[in-house]
Structure formats: C-alpha cells, structure tokens
A and B are shown apart, each in its own frame.
Chain A
Amino acid sequence: MDQNQVSVETSDTSLRTENWEPKIVAFLCNWCSYAGADLAGGSRVKYPANVRIIRVPCSARIDPKLVLKGLEKEHVDGVIVSGCHPGDCHYTEGNYYARRRMLMFHRLMEFIGIDSQRIRMSWVSASEGTKWADVVTQVVEDIRALGPLHPRETANARDH
C-alpha cells in the first residue's frame, strides 16, 4: 500500500464510503461519567449509537497509549475520555492529572496533524445523563464532518 496517500483530514470525498458511520471509543470513569451514561440509558435519552463505551476506574487511568491504541484500529474515528468534574473525583485529584495529560496529548497529536476534534475530553457527572447525550451527539457530528480517520481501510471494509 502506498502510505503517502493515506491522509486523515481528507477532503477527497471519493474515499469516504457511502454508508460510513463514525465509530467512537469512549473511556468513562466508573464513578461519574459511566453512571451518567447509565442514567442517560435508564431515562431513555436518545443519542447516536456510534459510541463504544469502556469503563475505567478513573479518568487518570487513561494513559495516552490507550487512546492511541484506539485510534490505531481500522474502524475507529475518534476517542472520548470522560471523567468527574474538577473537585468531584472519587480519588480526590485523579481528574486533575488526567486533564494535564490529555491537554498535552492533544497538543502533540495536533502537531503531527491529527485533528484535536478526534480526541475529546469531557466532564460528565453521574446526574448528567442529558449532558452525556449532548457530548456524544456533538462528537459524532464533528467527526462525521471530518470523515473517516483511516479512509482507505474504511473503504476496503464496507461490510464491517
């Protein structure tokens, strides 16, 4: 495969598959965001089904290698990391560390040319079911506008 032709922010719509749907991996902290997403489900709030949720103990658990591993996958177009609001962390200060780390990871990825809209971070508390729905809706919209992260692989694997 000619690697030079692989481009992320492609404006070449011919590379996009017709039935392409963005696929997003979300890392949610056990104590706030996962409960928030659970509440969204429990209260039957509608939001796009493009997100695959992985529950982690704390947003500080998210090493950028996990995000990168997600983005490496052929059909993943974006990642959300979500945790408790500042001051609400179950482990008191985990989300503050996560915030610094993710900010720097953002800047690094932006520098190598990955749009920062593909790596999002949000604060969603256990009572914010609707906010979680809004976050997902927004991220899916943004990524739909950007197109697939791996246009060629996506084009080659229409059936998946």
Chain B
Amino acid sequence: MQEITDRIREEARRLLGEELVDVVIGYQQGWDETIATPCFAVQASQVDRLIFDERCTYNLARYLVGREGYLTSRFRPADEKPRVALVARPAAMRAIVGLIQEHQFKREDVYVLGIVDGTPVGIEPDVQVGQIQEDVAKQQEIRARIEELEALPASERWAWWRQEFTKCIRCYACRQVCPFCYCEECIVDENQPQWIGSSPLPRNNTSWNVIRAFHLVGRCINCGECERVCPVDIPLNLLNAKMAAEVEEVFGYVAGMDAEAVPALATFRVDDTDDFIM
C-alpha cells in the first residue's frame, strides 16, 4: 500500500508541478484513524496529504459529474472546466466508462491514476499507480444472498423487501454518492406532478427504491457505495447486482466495459425476447 501512496504522490506532484492538471482527486487521512476522506489537491504543496490504503474505498468518479461535478459543473463556463486527475479504483474506472458512454465527458477530460485488480475495466488508465486484490469473497456473498432471496416464495420476498424499505428515512445518501445519479433534477424532487411521495411512508419508500434501482438497470457498475452509505442498512446493492445479472443474461451486456457501446436500455434488437408478452 505504501508504494501506491508514494506512486500517487509522485504522479500528483508531477501533474500539478507541470500544470498538466488543476486538481488531483484522491484520498486523505480523515478525522480519526478509521477513516479516509476524499482529498482535492490543487497545489504541489498539498500532495503529501494524498494516501492510499485499505480504507480508501470510495468511488471518486462521483466528483466528476452532476451539478457541482468538476467536469460538468454548470457554475463554470465550458472553456474554464478544470483539468482533473483522479485516483481511480477499478469500480471508478468502470464508472468513468459508463459516464463517457452517457456523454457526460470525454476520455481525454480526465487523467486516470488507475489502481487495478485484474478485472476488466473498459479503459486503459493514463498511469497505473498500483495493484490491489480483487474482493472475490464480497462478490460471492452478494450472489449467495440473491440466490437465497430468490429461493423464497414471492410473498415472503415482498414482506422482506417491504420491511427493508420501511426503514428508509429518505436521506438520499444513496443518490448523492452514486456516480450515475447526476440528474439536474431527480425524479423524486419533481412535484408537478409528484411521481414519488416525499414523506417516508412504506409505499413511497418502495416506489423510491424501486425507481432508483430501475434507473440503474444496465448502468450500475456495482461499486456498492449506495449500500455502504445507507444509514439504515438497506441492502440496496442486492437490487443493483440482481439487475446487472439480468441485463447480462438477457441482453449480454455488462455496464462499464466498453466506452463505445450503447447502454442496454438505450438500444434494442429486433429479436429481443417476446416470451413475456401476451
């Protein structure tokens, strides 16, 4: 891990020193030793704040897009967009691919300091700053939990999800942390007409979580950030992982693997399956 930190600092010092980028987005020590927080280094003197270790799991691609995102901020004229370098874990690189597919920015707009784990990520990092272990156990656990749920009868599954959704306090942390939730106005904030009730009632919560999961179909790159930030521990990633598996099975498409591909629900094939239609 220390060599990754050194490598990130070295690259960041070079990029900022030679004024190749305006900001390096990475991780830094948080307020106590258990936490690492995002770091935005804008001068060479701040480079030594940057770290990388096992606590640095956040998907930093989130800071590229959205209203305040570095690359899409509407508070800056187009010709003054900052040049950004990003410390990207595999999930962040896949998110970058997805965002390029959705025309949020171009590949050359972001300088990727990639940390790879051997899984395909769809782009070549500009510099590979390190190698980490793939978290195989976590993926297996998700698959096991999905199978467990699928084995239940539908009524029990519904009762279980209903219980989970009932816990939701509608803080929208899942939305705020998601690199693909970059809409200027979220559907849940629309009120004329109001599609999703904003009070945290079980019915509204179900609608909110279902719609959010649906909006991520064929886009979610399974970084698991939504589930990590959820203050009431709703297993949101199960929905996303389940739908990613469905998309792969039915359309043969995996999100965040090919910057040239069209996302699954933005295209069609004439011979798509018809067997659920009356």
A residues in contact (CB < 8 Å) with B: 3-4, 6-11, 64-65, 68-69, 72, 86-87, 93, 96-97, 99-116, 120-123, 135, 138-139
- Are A113 and B161 in contact, CB atoms less than 8 angstroms apart? yes
User: Which of A4, A65, A106 is in CB contact (< 8 Å) with B163?
Assistant: A4
Question: Apart from A65-B187, A65-B211, A103-B250, what 8 extra A-B contacts exist at CB < 8 Å?
Answer: A65-B207, A69-B207, A96-B268, A99-B268, A101-B265, A107-B246, A113-B156, A139-B278
What 5 A-B pairs come out closest when comparing CB atoms? A113-B158, A113-B157, A96-B268, A122-B278, A9-B155
Task: Give the chain B neighbours of A123 by CB distance below 8 A.
Answer: 277-278
User: Which of A72, A87, A105 is in CB contact (< 8 Å) with B214?
Assistant: A105
User: Which of B162, B213, B242 is in CB contact (< 8 Å) with A6?
Assistant: B162
Stretch at the interface among B131-139, B146-154, B175-183: B146-154
Chain B interface SS verdict (over half): helix
Task: Give the chain B neighbours of A86 by CB distance below 8 A.
Answer: 270, 274
- Are A138 and B278 in contact, CB atoms less than 8 angstroms apart? yes
Task: Give the chain A neighbours of B173 by CB distance below 8 A.
Answer: none
Number of interface residues of B (CB under 8 A): 45
Q: How far is the CA of A97 from the CA of B171 in the complex (A)?
A: 32
B156 CB to closest chain A CB (Å) equals: 7
B152, closest chain A residue (CB): A113
A97, closest chain B residue (CB): B268
B213 CB to closest chain A CB (Å) equals: 6
- Are B268 and A100 in contact, CB atoms less than 8 angstroms apart? yes
- Are B278 and A121 in contact, CB atoms less than 8 angstroms apart? yes
Q: How far is the CA of A109 from the CA of B239 in the complex (A)?
A: 10
Q: How far is the CA of A96 from the CA of B272 in the complex (A)?
A: 8
Task: Give the chain A neighbours of B153 by CB distance below 8 A.
Answer: 9
**Given A65-B211, A113-B158 in contact, is the A93-B278 Cβ separation under 8 Å?**
no
- Are B207 and A112 in contact, CB atoms less than 8 angstroms apart? no
B45 at the interface (CB under 8 A from A): no
Task: Give the chain B neighbours of A64 by CB distance below 8 A.
Answer: 210-211, 214
Q: How far is the CA of A57 from the CA of B64 in the complex (A)?
A: 36
B202, closest chain A residue (CB): A3
